[in-house]
Chain A
Amino acid sequence: MAYSFPEEVLEHVFSFIHTDKDRNAISVVCKSWYEVERWSRRRVFVGNCYAVSPGIVIRRFPELRSVALKGKPHFADFNLVPEGWGGNVFPWIATMTRAYPMLEELRLKRMVVTDESLELISRSFKNFKVLVLFSCEGFSTDGLAAIAANCRNLRELDLRESEVDDLSGHWLTHFPDSCTSLVSLNISCLGSEVSFSALERLVGRCPNLRTLRLNRAVPLERLPNLLHRAPQLVELGTGAYTAEPRPEVFSSLEGAFANCKELKSLSGFWDVVPDYLPSIYSICSGITSLNLSYATIQSPDLVKLVTQCPNLQRLWVLDYIEDSGLEALAAHCKDLQELRVFPSEPYGAEPNVALTEQGLVSVSEGCPKLHSVLYFCRQMTNAALVSIAKNRPNMTRFRLCILEPETPDYQTMEPLDVGFGAIVEHCKELRRLSLSGLLTDRMFDYIGTHAKKLEMLSVAFAGDSDLGLHHVLSGCESLRKLEIRDCPWGDKALLANAAKLETMRSLWMSSCSVSYGACKLLGQKMPRLNVEVIDERGPPDSRPESCLVEKLYIYRSVAGPRLDMPSFVRTMDEDSELRLS
């Protein structure tokens, strides 16, 4: 007996279904479900802004309230994507102003956002509430002033890690006195001093403010006043944590922190002076997330702080913590789930701190819930990796960055194949992996054989031949993003696994061994892939087919080749034969 609910009942049922996967599943059930679903979908996540066009999105989903877009590939973080490559949000904003006057939320990552876009957003969406610009660029504080002035119901303004043309801190004064709706404000990436009195008044009149991430220019002496106005804060990023040692400043800080009984997350701590750290001790027992990646303090002070936080779940810290500090972490913070250790002197020739593979092994032994790791170091052994793998089969994200490329196991001088092989073999839930050190094709055989749930893989300076790439592309069933630099991988593996590329979001290859000829072939064979060659050496017209491409970005798209490519980016498709010959 078939059941057909009336549309309003279906819509009501769908209002309880939120994840992208579930919404996508129900859209395919039958025609009427497709229709009800598309009219009732309120949020989309577009993982690659060029995989679809604004026109397609607004035609399919006429009533969106929340849009998330990602632009440049991840390797843009390492300056591998040239300036002017793309990822401009303006065409999206222009289209959405017509289609979604009720848009409430915009979350952008690695996109180019101009002041013009920000001004358009601030004027077009009457109910705009959330703006998150994660690792974006292209705008100035003038654009921010427009957002502050015109978005009457703004709840979230988060500029994390964006590059802002910081003309002055004056933009903050554009928040009208009537603005009381802020829940989250993150200005930590800004350089200039904002008006402190405007900031204090803003913080004071927003009773629902739970996240406040200040920038470095907010001096320590100003912090107590801010905290007193927002004792309900859950997440705080301090400014510079430095001042002349003065007892009244210290006790003022201490008192202000003691009053913030809801605090769970701390960050900031630029230029931190160890004498001032104890001012936060009273709230440490509630802290679950600590970002000390700007805190240039030494191991003993780090240890003192970290051991005050028994409920710590996430720690981001510089390698000043050293092996001894990580051992203490392992002993005291049994709830730790995520650890990121950043290099204090990545370009130094010699190690400046006593941080080795042992630190990571200690944490993997002592912290049963640890599942996400980003670890920069200078040396590693297969034995250590095998220990880590066996200790933590629950690992889901493992990114190891040995600073010097092609570094072998320092004890045996062997490649690190066996060690990383153990990681993929034991950690069956591994979704993200970044490799480093000396690795041969054998490593990639292990990956292809075992890493069945792996979704994202980053490889640099590794492998011997195309076989390595072939193992990955043919074996990793769940692979969505693959990014490769400086590996001797090329045409054969790419062409043999052309179909695989349609099952992935994207592939990035730079300084590898892929020829123009292969790119053209791939583009012709797979018309639904955008095979984009990035070549800053000038037009490739006169180059022989065998010439190697500098950088290659391949992604599947339902929108065809993009129309906004700069001169140094070309799509290799059927037409490229005509253009290039």
Chain B
Amino acid sequence: MITLRSSDGETFDLDEVVAVELQTIKNMMEDGCAESVIPVPNVEGKILAKVIEYCKKHVKSTAKAEEHALSDADLKAWDSDFIKLDQATLFDLIMAANYLDIKSLLDLLCQTVANMIKGKSPEEIRQIFNIKNDFTPEEEQEIRRENQWAFQ
């Protein structure tokens, strides 16, 4: 049993078989520096809870896990529901998945964000992500021109 503690002090108990889905934690366990309670200072409780929920569902089959194993189609459906989140939670989850190095979760979340970007104009993208346009008008015009004239 592994215990993780979030930045805001919440603790979560995990079977080892689930904990190894989080590559960062797995590395710590293998390096022998995993204490009884592992602090996860970058991730708050409600986000860590979601991460663990995902990992529990996706854990590779073992003798115990096979009883609860889902078919690929069921898992995909569960994933589609899982990512129905508000944007702030989605982004926090990406940061957590990146820090904890959970490849399949990171793929799922990045694909989700990519889908938010596809088909949108730069202005729309800036709005969605609340990004400031730091190009001068001339710089932006030059890039747009090169994009449209050369690469489209």
A interface residues, Cβ below 8 angstroms from B: 1-3, 5-6, 8-9, 12-17, 19-31, 33-34, 44-47, 51-52, 56-57, 60, 505, 556-558
Contact = CB atoms under 8 A, between A and B. Distances in A.
A21 B122 CA distance: 11
Contact of A44 (B88, B121, B131, B151): B151
Contacts of B148: 24
Contacts of A44: 151
A15 to B, nearest CB: 7
Interface of B: 88, 91, 94-95, 98, 106-107, 110-111, 113-115, 117-122, 125-126, 129-135, 140, 143-152
Contact of B135 (A17, A23, A30, A51): A30
A563 B112 CA distance: 46
Given A26-B125, A27-B147, A52-B146, A14 B94 contact: no
Q: Which of A28, A47, A557 has the most CB of B within 10 A?
A: A28
A51 B88 CA distance: 42
Given A2-B132, A26-B122, 18 more contacts: A1-B130, A2-B129, A3-B91, A5-B91, A5-B94, A12-B107, A16-B114, A22-B117, A29-B125, A29-B126, A33-B131, A34-B143, A44-B151, A46-B150, A51-B149, A556-B149, A557-B149, A558-B146
How would you classify the secondary structure of chain B's contact residues: helix, strand, loop or mixed? Answer: helix
A53 to B, nearest CB: 9
A102 to B, nearest CB: 20
Nearest to B146: A558
Contacts of B135: 28, 30-31, 34
Given A1-B130, A8-B98, A30-B131, A14 B151 contact: no
Nearest to A12: B110
A47 B150 CA distance: 7
Contacts of B98: 6, 8-9
A44 B131 CA distance: 26
Contacts of B118: 17, 19, 22
Nearest to B152: A20
Given A16-B114, A25-B121, A25-B122, A30 B134 contact: yes
Contact of B130 (A3, A13, A17): A3
A46 B143 CA distance: 15
A27 B118 CA distance: 13
A14 B130 CA distance: 18
Contact of B110 (A13, A21, A57): A13
A558 B125 contact: no
A15 B111 CA distance: 9
A52 B149 contact: yes
A11 to B, nearest CB: 9
Contacts of B95: 5, 9
A69 to B, nearest CB: 11
B129 A21 contact: no
12 contacts: A5-B94, A6-B98, A8-B98, A9-B94, A12-B107, A21-B152, A24-B148, A24-B151, A24-B152, A29-B125, A34-B143, A56-B146
- 8 closest A-B pairs by beta carbon, nearest first, are A52-B150, A16-B114, A24-B147, A28-B122, A12-B110, A13-B110, A2-B130, A13-B113
A1 B130 CA distance: 7
A45 B152 CA distance: 6
Contacts of B146: 52, 56, 60, 558
